[in-house]
């Protein structure tokens, strides 16, 4: 009889894929889309260096590091929440999820301020070169972070009301958030470091 190698019931510790397998295919699809966008940015910059030279100067490296710490810190809190649920401590898990949301909203507020700062300088998605790509890619990521925060909010409310929650559900939410971290690590290098 056929048995799936990724079913936790059929696998050893060495072969376990956390979360829902459908979510992993979704993650691969999302990473593929981001890869195309990032590759497009890199090629466009290579073909038109002058159009991209002025762009990164408008972004602050310190802001980039702060945004990175917010997102990665939130990812750590989500991972801690998963550990608490595994240890049958849902109340503590809810607190870690709240901490993750706090850091996630920190990212949203800082990023919104950055967008506002750029818009006030007339650097919009229509500005061409760096800024068209920047608004498109970072905006796409921004919307994903908002969706991730909504998922974390729903899960923390669920845990706070002491409703039963499947571990794979929380693991899947965590994997989605870590995917956002993974993409951001690349975007951070793209927008703030490789000037």
Partner 1 sequence: MPSRALCVATLCLVLLSVLVLPASGLGAVGWAAWVLLMVLGKSWLISEQFMELRHAPKLWRMALLLWPLLLGLLLVGLWSAAQ
> Is residue 187 within 8 Å of 138, Cβ to Cβ?
yes
Binding mask 107-146 for partner 1 (x = CB under 8 A): ----------------------------------------
> Is residue 39 within 8 Å of 142, Cβ to Cβ?
no
22: contact with partner 1 by CB under 8 A: no
Return the residue of 7, 29, 33, 42 that touches partner 1, per CB under 8 A: 42
Binding mask 48-77 for partner 1 (x = CB under 8 A): -x-----------x---x--xx--xx-xx-
Q: Measuring CA to CA, how many Å separate 24 from each of 31, 56, 111? A: 10, 33, 27
The residue written with tokens 């949203």 in the block is 108
Residue range at the interface with partner 1 (CB under 8 A); choices 108-116, 127-135, 157-165, 168-176: 168-176
Three-state DSSP at 19 gives: coil
Q: Among residues 1 and 50, whose Cβ is nearest to partner 1?
A: 50
- DSSP state letters, 144-187: HHHHHHHHHHHHHHHHHTT----HHHHHHHHHHHHHHHHHHHHH
CA atoms within 13 A on the CB side of 22: 2
190: contact with partner 1 by CB under 8 A: yes
15: contact with partner 1 by CB under 8 A: yes
Least distance CB 150 / partner 1 (angstroms) = 20
Both tokens of 36, joined, read: 């195309």
Q: Which residues bind partner 1 (CB under 8 A)?
A: 5-6, 13-18, 24, 28, 31, 35, 38-39, 42-43, 45-46, 49, 61, 65, 68-69, 72-73, 75-76, 79-80, 83, 96, 171, 174-175, 178-179, 181-182, 185-186, 188-190, 193-194
């Amino acid at each position: 009889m056929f048995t799936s190698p990724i079913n936790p019931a059929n696998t050893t510790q060495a072969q376990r894929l956390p979360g829902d397998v459908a979510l992993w295919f979704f993650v691969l699809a999302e990473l593929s889309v981001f890869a195309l966008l990032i590759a497009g940015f890199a090629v466009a910059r290579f073909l038109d260096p002058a159009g991209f030279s002025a762009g990164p100067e408008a972004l602050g490296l310190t802001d980039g590091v702060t945004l990175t710490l917010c997102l990665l810190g939130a990812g750590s809190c989500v991972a801690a929440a998963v550990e608490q649920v595994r240890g049958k401590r849902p109340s503590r898990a809810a607190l870690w999820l709240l901490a993750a949301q706090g850091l996630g909203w920190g990212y949203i507020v800082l990023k919104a301020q950055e967008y506002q700062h750029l818009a006030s300088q007339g650097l919009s998605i229509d500005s061409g070169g760096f800024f068209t790509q920047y608004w498109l890619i970072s905006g796409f990521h921004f919307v994903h972070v908002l969706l991730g925060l909504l998922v974390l909010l729903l899960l923390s409310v669920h845990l706070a009301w002491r409703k039963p929650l499947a571990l794979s559900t929380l693991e899947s939410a965590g994997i989605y958030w870590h995917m956002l971290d993974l993409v951001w690590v690349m975007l951070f290098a793209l927008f703030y470091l490789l000037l």
